[in-house]
Amino acid sequence: MSEVKKILVVRNDKIGDFVLALPAIRAIKLAFPDATLTALVPNYTKEIAQSFAWIDDVIIDSKDPDNKKALIAELKSRSFDAAICLFSDTYNATVVRQAKIPVRVAPATKWVQFLYTHTLRQRRSKSLKPEFEYNLDLAHYFIKVLGGTVQKTTAPMFAYTPDNLTKQLSKLENIGVAVDRKLCFVHPVTGGSSNTLTQEQWVKLICFLDSIDCFHFVITAGPGEAPVSQSLVDALQGLVSYVSLYDKNDGIADFMCSIATADLFVAGSTGPLHIAGAMDVPTIGFYPNKRSAKPLRWKTLNTEGRWLPFTTSGPEASLADLDVTSLFEEIETWYTNL
C-alpha cells in the first residue's frame, strides 16, 4: 500500500497480555519508524504503554458499551491507515470496522474474523509456543500486508539509567528496605484464571531463598491485595531478618522502576512477573497445570536462562498441591549459575 502514516495497535485486556505484546509492537514500529503508532489500551496498562519507547500515543478504552460510539468516533477522526488487533473479540472487531480503518488485521477467530480485511490462522488455544511469539507472528504478517520489512533488534523492552535506579532505591529505603542487600521481590497474589502458592508454601520458599543469598524480601501488593501480602509479611517475622511490605507506589510506572532494582522476582503467572521479565530481572514463576496457562504459553520475556518456571505434575492438580521443598535444589543450581 501507499506510505503508512498512522497505525493503531489494539491490546485492551490484562497487564500480562499487554506486556507480552510489546515485542510485536516494537517490531511494527521498527518496520515503520516514520509512522505514528498509537496503542488502544485500558486505563490500567496506560502507564506501561506510555513508558514504552516504541509507542507514540495512547488511547484509553474503558470497554464500556456506553462509551463505544464515542471511541469509534475518535478512532475515525484520527484517520488510521491500518489497525492490528493482537487480541480479537466481537467488541474489538466491530470497533475497528465501524471506525472504517481500511486495513484491519487480527487472528482468525470464529465468525468475527470476517470483520477484518486480513486474518492469520494461529490456533493459540493449543498453546504450542509462547504468547509473545504468537503476537510476533501476527505482527510480521501485518508488516507484510503493509509492504514493510521486518527489522531485528536485541534491545531490552525497558531500560533505566543508573540515576533513575539510584533515586528509586532511595524511595525503597524510605519504606525500610535495606538496599545494601540483594532485593528479592515476591508477589504472592495472582489475579485472573491462574492460582498461586499458599501462604505456607511461600513461607517455605522464602526461608529457603534466605539461605542461599543475602536478600531483603520485598513483598508486593496491587490494589486490594495488601491484606494477603501483609499476612505473608507477618508470617515471616522471626523466620527471615529482612522483609518489607511494598503496597504503595506512585502508579504503575513507579512500580516498574522499583521492579527494575530487583535481583530476583518470584510470583505466580501474573502481570508483575511479566513486567520483571520485560526488564530481564531473573524470574521464578509458578503456573497452574492447564493447557491455557502452562509455562510454555506464558513464558516471560527474559533472555535465555533467566526464567525458571514450575508447575504441578497432575493435570487436575492446583499449585496448592506442589511440594515446594522438592524444587529447592533446582532453584539453587539455577540461581548460582545466573
Q: Please say if the pLDDT value at position 325 is more than 80.
A: yes
Tell me: do 106 and 170 sit in the same domain: no
Angle between helices 328-336 and 199-212 (to 10 degrees): 40
- In order, the DSSP letters of 6-53 are EEEEE--S-HHHHHTTHHHHHHHHHHSTTSEEEEEE-GGGHHHHHH-T
- Which structural domain, as residue segments, surrounds residue 17? 6-145
CATH number of the domain where residue 120 is located: 3.40.50.2000
- Is residue 155, in this structure, part of any structural domain at all? no
Tell me: do 225 and 281 sit in the same domain: yes
0.85 surpassed by pTM = yes
Tell me: do 131 and 181 sit in the same domain: no
Tell me: do 120 and 258 sit in the same domain: no
Tell me: do 187 and 57 sit in the same domain: no
What SS3 class is residue 252? helix
* pLDDT at 126 (0 to 100): 85
123 confidence band (pLDDT: 50, 70, 90): confident
* pLDDT at 289 (0 to 100): 82
Residue pLDDT, tens place only, 271-291: 999 999 999 999 999 998 877
315 confidence band (pLDDT: 50, 70, 90): low
* pLDDT at 316 (0 to 100): 62
* pLDDT at 153 (0 to 100): 86
As beta bridge partners, residue 216 has 183
